[in-house]
Structures are given as C-alpha cells and as structure tokens.
Structure 1
C-alpha cells in the first residue's frame, strides 16, 4: 500500500517543508508517503466559490490514482484519536488499496470530492492554516504507523 497526500497550495515555508520531509523520510519502505501539491485557483474578485472549488477539484482528481481509497480532510469528518487512526491505518493496509488523503484550499474541498470520498476525517476542532495541517497530517500518519508497529515514538 502507498499513501499520498494531495493538497491544494504550494510554496510552503521552509519549516513546513522540512517537517513534512522528515516524517515522509521516516515512513517505512512498505508504507511510503508522498506529498502532491496542486495549484490553488486564484481568488479573483467576483469569481464564485463554487467555480474555484470545481477548478481545484479537477486538479485534485487528476492526482488520484485509480482504485485508491479517498480520505478527505474536513471539519465535519470523524474525530480520531491517535490509536483510532492507527486502527484505520491497519484496516487500510489489510484492504490493500492505495490511500489518498485530500487537503483542500482556502475554501475547503468541493462537495463533489467530499461525496466521492470513502471517509471524512478531521485533524482538529481548531481552524488550522493549510501549511500546519499538512505537517500535522504527516506526523499523525507516522505516529499511527509507530503505534501499529509497537515503536516507542508514541506514549500513552
């Protein structure tokens, strides 16, 4: 199984790239994590949000491989503990399909993408900047892996 995070936006601060790269590097070879950035639609005056989201949806869909389990990050998604995320990771691995996690842009994800997703999860009840959400997700996936492999990184 491979995991891919498809996120809207680019040119993250160096500290975000360094942090994300660290957790990507720590993932095991049999569970690689890839970060794919897609361009955010320019927020021009008068362009409706639906049109912006639809343009971003098309870019996101182009980055999703066939037969992938789609997991969208959404504020209304399941609120998972680390142990619960580790259990999901175990289930995803058992099912064998690649997993694609989606992080939307400033206006979130299009309703079409969310309805296509197999699951909705949220990282926090707090509003997070997209750069921080990307870093948090990479760390959470690494932490979930360590829980599943009985690595001492996670402590309860």
Structure 2
C-alpha cells in the first residue's frame, strides 16, 4: 500500500477497499459489491459491522451513538444526516445503542447522543449532546488533517 492509499470498509458488504487518496473526490465504489464507499447518508452499523468499520477505516469515521427512546438523539438525526451530506470525504455512521448494547459497550458511551470520531481504529475525539448541523460540520472539520 502506498502512502497515498487509504483503506475504506464498505458498509454494505464489509469488504476492505484500498482507495488512492486522489480518487476520494471521484465517488469510489466498492471493488466487491459495487456500492458507493462514501455517501451523503449515514450508514447504520450493526453488532456485526461496528468493529470492522471502526478498526479498518483509515479515513475519518464519525459514529453517532443514539437510542430510539432518546428525544435529543431523534432531534439530532436530521442534523447529523445534513452534516454527512456536506462532508463527502468522511464516513458517517450510526449505532443504535438500545438495539446493539453489547456492541456499543466497549466505547464507554455515558450520555446520548454521543458522536465519536475514529481514524485508523483509534478514537480521536468525542462530543456529547445534540448539535445543529453547522456545529457538527465545524467539529468534524476541526478533526480533518
């Protein structure tokens, strides 16, 4: 793998794709299933997919940990989706903590909603509480390098 290649996990089929950094602007597709790797919509992660997406993505990955009973979570959902559409070189994902309690437990989520930023399998930042789109975008942009 060259220094300009990034690993991006396909959230549809779980294949790890090697994508040249220069190709990030041209909407890369998965080499296995053909689905887009970077989309304007957050991906729903499951107990089976959460660890691989977090651990194997070289690209900045923002995970929204939320619950179906959490009103601030439900209010932030459209804001999170809007932020995802503005940041096409970032993977946005969601984990429903009340549905996948065991899978989200290792991430020590203490309040909801909580967004956690990962890069290369490591947590790089965390933000708790519902935020409007502009603040989500600003937070994510502050983490990009």
- When normalised by structure 1's length, the TM-score is 0.33
Higher relative contact order (CA 8 A, sep 6+): 1
Larger Rg: 1
Name the one with the larger helix percent: 1
TM-score normalised according to structure 2 size: 0.35
Structure whose residues are more often strand by fraction: 2
